[in-house]
Chains A and B, each alone.
Chain A
Amino acid sequence: MKDHELQDWIDGSFNGVATDAELELLEERLLHDEVARKHYLNEANLHASLRRRFSAGEARLSLLLDPPNVGRLSFSRRKVVVGLAVAASVALIASFFDRYVAKSPPTAVIAHVIGAYDEDGATYEAGDTVSPGVFKISRGVARLDFSSGARVSVEGPAQVEVIDEMKVILNQGVVTATIPEPAVGFIIDTPTAHVVDLGTSFGVSVDTAGLTDVYVFDGEVEVSSRDGRKAGAVGKLLREGEAVRTDGKSTPIDTLAYDVSPFEATWPVNSGVLQTTGSMRFVTPGPNFHPGNYVDNKHIVVFPERRGFIPAEPTHVDMVDPGRYERRRNEELPVLLPEQRLTSYLLQLNAFPEGEKPNRRRSVRGQITFAKPIVGVVMANRLLKKSEEVFGIPGVEYPGARMIEPRPEGDQGRGFDSVILAADRRTLLIELQENPGNLDQFRVLVEAE
């Protein structure tokens, strides 16, 4: 019965209802019982995680938005400290150093990491170089940018043998590859399959038994099974929205239902999104997917739009600087000159009514961190429409009226949308009010990778 007691004390202590006597008993127990301490730390961790998950936590970001000045000369000019925050930025500089200063370019560089550890439990850092050989990752995600231009995000546990800048062998694990024009022909071999890229984005997973799944997000790949290849059979051509599975023996290769959930961790990293937390979901592309027909009223969903694209004309946006989004008059709108390659993402909360409480209103919060700096955010309906013509996915029918409603100055009321650009210029903190029947959308323009 002791442990019920312990649990009650812990619950009471974190919820502020424990008496002093109970706190003393809890302290006594924790002092002498290591297992109880471990359990207590797990409980503290859950409380802390839930708090982080459901509170926008603006206080903790004040440091990022407004670095304290005290005692540091380097802050005498505040402009100096526009500050790129976020994991990896520092090491990114190192990776550029390696890329441009080192004599022979490495086969690949780790461009981004998200809690990536090697088999000994040491962390991988962005900027680490990868030479031909076995690359093992026990957990987390690391994105390898090959000198050929190929980008391969690996999710642990995985074992990848890097052969050269055009070929890897995936022995186990999940990868997502994005292959630009110069790297067409990039090969991913597995114990049971041979996958040749024909200019595309695709995902490959290999389980412990060597069973290989291949999904094509965009473009085309050619897949052959191990035995089929030995027998000289022609590979199977796979197009966007198609998937296959092979155990190495089966010919022809089995077709799979298109379910891209295995790639939810690696695909965003490949697409320039380092992290999403809270109720934020990055949409993995599929056949005929677009903002108009994607159904999800619980998450802020993120749709990748046009990539690496220089607009022909100046682009008006609503927000460029760190801080909270506020509505501006037309003449105050910032404008981006058409000189920079940009990648566009559309963020959406579609509060369609459903279930037992169709009129419920609640707020949906989330945080998203991009790999490159955000150069502009487009909020107003009119500007959204205009920017759609440039950055929208061609052929997609975008919806009509959309509404992000920031709190007007001086208004203390609840129920407004809040979008904050952090000082790192890569992170957005978003809280949207669900208003049944309304569609919240806005567009984020990010420096192209």
Chain B
Amino acid sequence: MWRVYNPMFDQVPDSSRYEEFVSLYVRHEPAVFSFVLSMVRNTADAEDVVQRASITMWRCFDQYESGTNFRNWAFQVAKNMALNHLTKQRRDRHVFGEKLIELLAVQAEEEADHLDARRRALDSCLEKLPEEEHVMVAGCYAEGSSIRSFAEEAGESANKIYKRLNRVRRQLHRCIERQLGLEEAIG
């Protein structure tokens, strides 16, 4: 049997609150992810925290007032989620304390527009990278891969890739700053 699909029948009006949520969430998710990564410092952990935070955001979406700053609201939810995560981790290793998390949260909110602009500038900077470096960055940041796994695939030492990757990130920072017309000093 052929299945006939008609989008008009599949959408009913009361989905609008979910639409509003998803619309806001999709727009601000990159900022939230970036903020969470600054607190937990590990991409897999950050993804996990953001995932859980997104579900909480949806559950508590009634508390969010339409028209106010969704990003700041989402940051609050994400911060609490990250603090929980760090508390659990604290038994095994050093993690950032609450005082620094609060400072980062304040500054991340202040810098959020600037960080958005940097994210947007990144695409064209990546295009300017030589092929080999592009492949390396893509290989190291792909899902499920790491510097170590990429180094193995490429037949190089992890240390060498680590250093090259750090250098490429410096280049990307400089390119982003040129794009944004900034002359920021980088250590």
Contacts and interface: CB of A to CB of B under 8 A. Distances in A.
Interface of A: 2-4, 6-7, 11, 13-17, 20, 23-24, 27, 30-31, 34, 37-60, 62-64, 67-68, 70-72, 74, 79-90, 93, 115, 117, 121, 139, 277, 320-321, 331-337, 340, 355, 360, 362-363, 373, 375-376, 423-425, 427, 447
Contacts of B6: 337, 340
A298 B113 CA distance: 30
Contact of B23 (A81, A88, A363): A88
A87 B26 contact: yes
A56 B23 contact: no
Q: Which secondary structure dominates where chain B touches chain A?
A: helix
B59 interface: yes
Contacts of A41: 34, 38, 104, 107-108, 111, 115
Interface of B: 1-7, 10-12, 14-20, 22-23, 25-27, 29-30, 33-35, 37-38, 41-43, 46-47, 50-51, 54-55, 58-59, 93-97, 99-100, 103-104, 107-108, 111, 113, 115-120, 122-123, 126, 131, 135, 137-138, 141-143, 147, 162, 166, 169, 172-173, 176, 186-187
Nearest to B99: A31
A425 B7 contact: yes
Given A70-B59, A84-B22, A320-B5, A48 B46 contact: yes
Given A44-B34, A49-B122, A50-B137, 6 more contacts: A37-B103, A51-B43, A79-B10, A84-B19, A331-B2, A335-B4
A60 B25 CA distance: 11
Given A17-B162, A38-B107, A63 B54 contact: yes
Given A13-B41, A79-B10, A90 B23 contact: yes
Most B CB contacts (10 A, CB to CB) among A38, A60, A64, A86 go to A60
B19 A15 contact: no
B141 A53 contact: yes
4 closest cross-chain pairs (CB), A and B: A3-B187, A44-B38, A85-B22, A55-B143
21 contacts: A11-B166, A30-B100, A30-B104, A34-B107, A41-B115, A44-B37, A44-B38, A46-B172, A49-B34, A50-B137, A64-B22, A70-B59, A81-B18, A84-B19, A86-B23, A90-B16, A335-B4, A360-B135, A362-B138, A375-B5, A447-B7
Given A54-B137, A55-B142, A24 B1 contact: no
B47 A45 contact: no
Nearest to B5: A320
Given A7-B187, A27-B100, A115 B120 contact: yes
A367 B141 CA distance: 16
Contact of A24 (B10, B94, B123, B172): B94
B22 A424 contact: yes
B101 to A, nearest CB: 10
A336 B122 CA distance: 39
B51 A63 contact: yes
A47 B117 CA distance: 15
Interface centre among A16, A45, A52, A90 (most CB of B within 10 A): A45
A68 B104 CA distance: 30
A90 B37 contact: no
Nearest to A317: B5
Contacts of B123: 53, 277
A369 to B, nearest CB: 8
A242 B135 CA distance: 37
B74 to A, nearest CB: 13
B40 to A, nearest CB: 10
A40 B38 contact: yes
Contacts of A86: 22-23, 26
Given A27-B97, A54-B138, A63-B58, A47 B43 contact: yes
Contacts of A376: 5
Nearest to B28: A87
Contact of A62 (B38, B51, B186): B51
Contacts of A53: 122-123, 126, 141
